[in-house]
Amino acid sequence: MRGLDTSTESRPAPPLNDAREFGFGVRHFDAIRERLREFTGISIGDIKQDLVYGRLTRRVRSLGLPDFDAYLALLEQQPENEKAEFINALTTNLTAFFRERHHFEDLRERVLPALIEQKRHARRLRIWSAACSTGEEPYSLAMTLSEALGNRLPQWDALVLATDIDTGVLTTAARGVYPRERLQGLSDSERKRHFDPVTGSTGEMVVKDSLRSLIRFRQLNLNGPWPMRGGFDVVFCRNVVIYFDKPTQKTLFARIARQMEPGGHLYIGHSESLFRVSERFEHLGRTIHRLNGAGP
């Protein structure tokens, strides 16, 4: 999942267009962003009023509601019925295979070789893609893991947990079908090893079962309950917390730390920082961190 906006400062709201299909004022916008914050922890700035209107107008129309007052009443009276659609409409997903490639190079060249040696007897590896969007990140992680283990992979209990709050992108991710142009960042060998052409398609590729078997896709709100048991050696939580306020960030990284193995590695987005957010991690440079404690 990628949030809606990084801007949370108070600014005058822009004037609204009177010619809109549905009336939409400051009180509607404030109520909606409060609901979004309640459901997800995401904070959005005043300048996103037009964007919010555009995203949710489709929901008002598709539900056959007369106006935004009726939509807000629905969110108040039956929040669970509309919650997923509301969140899906207001979250934006931007991703690519091997996005911020230096993270994957660090994982392949430094972290995984050390983990494979350290865990050669237990033969258990766990990686968490905490905001997996349409699947490019977890598939990139699975490719990196597969290539690091090579012919030893069948002897290992290795798994990538891929979670996102948006059920729509999770469906796309689990299908593993992508237009050929989305694979341009992959090498020829990566494409041949991990993807097949879709039968009957002129330009789509599908992830091979051998790679898909390394991943479990699950819906998860980072600010809600976490059913997993932890023990993660590596966590990718990138381009998410910039949409949370500092108290929410502190809580989130404290929870992530409790889910990780001692010495586990955390990768965050290029515009994110743990400065004054968490002291549980040692900064290794280039938005790469290691949990305090023994480890590779």
Joined together, the tokens standing for residue 204 give: 């789509």
Q: What is the dihedral of CA 226, 221, 5, 35, to 10 degrees?
A: -120
Q: How many CA atoms lie within 13 A of 160 on its CB side?
A: 25
CA-to-CA distance for 232 and 228, rounded, in angstroms?
Answer: 10
258 is catalytic: no
126 is catalytic: no
CA-to-CA distance for 70 and 82, rounded, in angstroms?
Answer: 13
Among 46, 164, 166, 233, the one annotated catalytic: 164
Q: Which amino acid is at 235?
A: V
Among 33, 37, 55, 59, the one annotated catalytic: 55
SS3 272: coil
Which residue in 94, 17, 99, 11 sits closest to 51, CA to CA? Answer: 17
CA angle 53, 174, 254 (to 5 degrees): 70
SS3 282: strand
DSSP for 108-173, written as a single string: IIIIHHHHHHHTTTT-EEEEEETT-TTTHHHHHHHHHHHHHHGGGGGGSEEEEEEEES-HHHHHHH
Give how far Cα 40 sits from Cα of 55, 85, 236, 248, Å.
17, 13, 18, 10
Query: Are 131 and 87 spatial neighbours (Cβ–Cβ below 8 Å)?
Result: no
CA-to-CA distance for 232 and 230, rounded, in angstroms?
Answer: 6
Which of the residues are catalytic?
55, 164
